[in-house]
């Protein structure tokens, strides 16, 4: 009991809330290389991507901090500040050596679909993510009195950024043309989502097709239309504008969502979520995550020098301008914070590079597998020494090796000896003995940050710069080289200084920076540092 003598000294404990924005919007643009901000600068409007450059802060030398640059690890790393070695998302898929089965990054057999008859499309949740995200930490800081929603065409792009405590995550079901969810979040779709689905916009977009935003002769930053290395949309005679989408048999909604219309749908769903869930209108900071993945589909199909790639970014710029203009009116221009990054970059099409005398090529996966099997048989006799290979990694059959008295070092030496002769292979690493590999300090860090001891393989094939597995058509990503690692980190709005830095920053620094802005603990697996120059 307080002494009467001290009563006069007791003061009210009431205080104002910690200063924070009303809303944070975290954006991932799938496959966006850093240079796209500047490559198409003259064609962008003033209210979309240029707002980051003209009003906000740009970390212009921002890179991934691990070697396998693909979608799921990228989304996880942006929002956790962690790395695959810790957060456990080591690929879009991986092999589980303990359970001896293939795993999809957000699979969850304990939940069911919400909003669709496509059962498999909804068996998804963030349970394979081993750490917290920025939205999770914000939930903890507000005692779960704020809202978090994640939206993307891809399930992994909606689920992983929003984290474990999200109120909802919505992704696109290409079979029905609807945005769906799972029972991890809810038992039925909110009315506003059902109403959006009832508009049947994907069917409308299919009828409209894909035409260039500007007259095609103005796309001077890109190679001419109809290149021999570009893939065609099903039913097309050639990969040229205008792209007719109506009448496509099979996966029509998947095709539509893989054009700029996919980004438009995510933008529209984001605005509907803000309005109907009243994001930014409450006492506590709400969080919306948006992943724009049509850029990835277009980049894979046509390559980064195509008119299609330029057009998808010009249209994304318009979608972002509409989103930001809406936010200006909804919560006020100075009351929200937006940040943007990418899950990975992309390599140029090898055939295009070769036409310009640049070194690049395509790896023969079947040829590599054949050589490895023949070399192992010649050295150790008949035996099933390899369980599987994925993400440039080889998973060994340790039970068979144990029976035969063969060590991993011996297997590594045999495989490395044969593959090092391949023009597409730079090296073969023993992931259980990385410190003894002949890597630069920079490369060693990338591969150490990649390896999760319970989920990763045993041996790592390192491709040469400019090389990747494929058919010679289109392109891909997934390497430790600058074209894949150099991605944007840009932000503007509440709490953000205007400016830029050219010092090297990492994707792992994004979550600590946003956490510092929000005055919350960074995610529990975070290994980065705040970019302090970006914050007021």
Mean pLDDT of 229-255: 87
**Model pLDDT, residue 2:** 43
Segment 416-425, tens digit of pLDDT: 999 999 999 9
Please report, in angstroms and rounded to a whole number, the separation of the first and last CA atoms in the chain. Answer: 44
Which pLDDT value is given to residue 246?
Answer: 77
Reported as a single tens digit per residue, the pLDDT across 376-415 is 999 999 999 999 999 999 999 999 999 999 999 999 999 9
Cα-flanking dihedrals φ and ψ of residue 149, to 5°? -135, 135
C-alpha to C-alpha distance for 455 and 89, rounded to whole angstroms: 9
On the question of pLDDT at 11 being above 60, the answer is no
pLDDT 10s digits, 483-494: 999 999 999 999
pTM tops 0.75: yes
If we measure between CA atoms, which residue out of 368, 471, 477 comes closest to residue 423?
Answer: 368
pLDDT tens, 28-60? 999 999 999 999 999 999 999 999 999 999 999
Residue ranges with strand state E in 56-161: 57-59, 62-63, 93-96, 101-104, 113-114, 148-152
Mean pLDDT of 492-506: 98
For residue 388, the surrounding DSSP H or E stretch is strand 386-390
Domains of the chain, CATH where assigned: 23-353+480-534 (3.40.720.10), 365-423+425-463 (3.30.1360.150)
Q: Is the pLDDT of residue 66 over 70?
A: yes
pLDDT at 249: 62
Catalytic residues: 71
Q: Are 515 and 163 in contact (CB under 8 A)?
A: no
The single-letter DSSP state of residue 460 is: E
């Amino acid at each position: 009991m307080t002494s009467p003598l001290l009563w006069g000294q007791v003061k009210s404990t009431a205080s104002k809330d910690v200063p924070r924005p009303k809303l944070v919007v975290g954006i991932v643009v799938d496959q966006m290389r850093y240079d796209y901000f500047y490559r198409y600068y003259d064609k962008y409007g003033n209210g979309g991507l240029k707002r980051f450059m003209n009003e906000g802060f740009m970390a212009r030398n921002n890179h991934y901090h691990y070697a396998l640059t693909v979608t799921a690890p990228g989304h996880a790393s942006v929002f956790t500040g962690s790395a695959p070695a810790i957060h456990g998302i080591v690929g879009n898929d991986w092999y589980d050596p303990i359970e001896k089965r293939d795993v999809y990054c957000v699979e969850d057999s304990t939940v069911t679909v919400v909003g669709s008859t496509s059962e498999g499309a909804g068996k998804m949740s963030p349970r394979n993510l081993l750490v917290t995200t920025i939205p999770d930490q914000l939930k903890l800081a507000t005692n779960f009195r704020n809202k978090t929603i994640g939206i993307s065409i891809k399930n992994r792009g909606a689920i992983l950024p929003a984290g474990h405590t999200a109120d909802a995550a919505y992704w696109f079901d290409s079979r029905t043309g609807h945005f769906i969810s799972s029972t991890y979040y809810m038992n039925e779709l909110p009315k506003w989502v059902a109403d959006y689905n009832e508009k049947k916009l994907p069917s409308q977009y299919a009828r409209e097709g894909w035409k260039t935003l500007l007259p095609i002769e103005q796309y001077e930053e890109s190679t001419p239309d109809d290149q021999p290395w570009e893939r065609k949309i099903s039913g097309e005679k050639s990969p040229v504008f205008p792209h007719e989408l109506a009448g496509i048999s099979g996966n029509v909604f998947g095709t539509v969502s893989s054009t700029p219309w996919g980004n438009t749908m995510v933008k529209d769903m984001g605005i509907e979520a803000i309005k109907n869930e009243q994001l930014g209108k409450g006492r506590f900071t709400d969080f919306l995550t948006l992943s724009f993945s049509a850029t990835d589909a277009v980049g894979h199909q046509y390559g980064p020098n195509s008119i299609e790639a330029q057009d998808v970014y010009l249209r994304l710029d318009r979608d972002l301008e509409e989103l930001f203009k809406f936010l200006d009116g909804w919560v006020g221009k100075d009351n929200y914070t937006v940040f943007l990054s990418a899950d990975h970059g992309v390599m140029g099409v090898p055939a295009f590079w070769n036409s310009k005398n640049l070194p690049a090529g395509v790896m023969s996966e079947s040829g590599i597998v054949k050589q490895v099997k023949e070399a192992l048989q010649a050295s150790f006799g008949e035996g099933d020494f390899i369980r599987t290979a994925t993400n440039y990694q080889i998973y060994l059959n340790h039970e068979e090796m144990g029976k035969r008295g063969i060590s991993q070092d011996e297997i590594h030496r045999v495989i490395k000896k044969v593959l090092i002769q391949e023009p597409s292979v730079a090296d073969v690493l023993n992931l259980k003995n990385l410190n003894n590999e002949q890597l630069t300090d920079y490369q060693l860090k990338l591969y150490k940050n990649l390896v999760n001891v319970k989920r990763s393989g045993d041996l790592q094939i390192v491709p040469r710069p400019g090389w990747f597995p494929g058919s010679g058509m289109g392109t891909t990503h997934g390497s430790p080289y600058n074209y894949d690692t150099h991605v944007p980190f840009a932000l503007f709005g509440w709490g953000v200084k205007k400016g830029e830095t050219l010092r090297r920053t990492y994707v792992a620094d994004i979550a600590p920076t946003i956490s510092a802005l929000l005055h919350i603990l960074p995610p529990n697996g975070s290994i980065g540092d705040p970019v302090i120059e970006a914050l007021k």
